[in-house]
Amino acid sequence: MYQKFWKRIIDILLSAIGILVLTPVWLILAVAIKADDPGPIFFRQKRIAQDKDGQIRYFQIYKYRSMKMCTPKDTPTHLLENPEQYITKVGGFLRKTSLDELPQIFNIFLGQMSIIGPRPALWNQEDLYAERAKYGANAVKPGLTGWAQINGRDELPIDVKAKLDGEYVEKMSFLFDVKCFLGTISSVLKSDGVVEGGTGAMEKEKDEQK
């Protein structure tokens, strides 16, 4: 009952309130992004959607643009060589504070995402999609934040991230979503698990130092 009805009602209400209340923030960030590096304010990226028919489906996720206009097109951050060189000054702040993810409130309002759920995999992360399938984590709507995000985020290798996403599916409830939400606030304030270079980036760095 919670997953099929109340979770969506909560998503609609909170995303609608967020869109209205955060209007001054939208304007301030838009001006800052434009002043730092002229170009589009928002960035769209192809992500894997909720699996309803056993086939990989996609949607366009919205973010504040944090990369320079000279960044190679259609190349995910974790595939870039030295991604820091392409991040704008404002973009660095947005990514560290996770404010670059704020426009996904619109994805939530439109029903493409939920506030809490497994983070939507990149279009080319078929390995993560396959690993999540073992735990039924592809069958739930992707989220703005989730259980894996407060337990490691970018630091996590794919198998661990998928397992945590599976744990979320098993424990999904209103109280567990509240726990994930509060845990996200703590993680964002401490910038826990933010590693430029993508999934398992810290693990790769450790391997290179051996």
Classify burial at 100, counting beta carbons within 10 Å of its beta carbon; exposed 0-12, middle 13-18, buried 19 or more: buried
Q: Could you tell me how far CA 67 lies from the centroid of its own chain?
A: 16
Q: Which residues touch 136 (CB under 8 Å, ≥6 apart)?
A: 166, 169
Q: Indicate if the pLDDT at residue 197 is higher than 70.
A: no
**Position 210 confidence tier, pLDDT thresholds 50, 70, 90:** very low
Q: Mean pLDDT over residues 102-114, rounded?
A: 97
Pick the closest to residue 118 from 109, 106, 131 (CA basis).
131
In whole numbers, what is the pLDDT of the chain averaged over residues?
A: 88
Give the per-residue pLDDT at 77.
73
Q: What is the pTM for the complete model shown?
A: 0.86
Query: pLDDT for 44-74, tens place per residue?
Result: 999 999 998 778 899 999 999 999 998 887 6
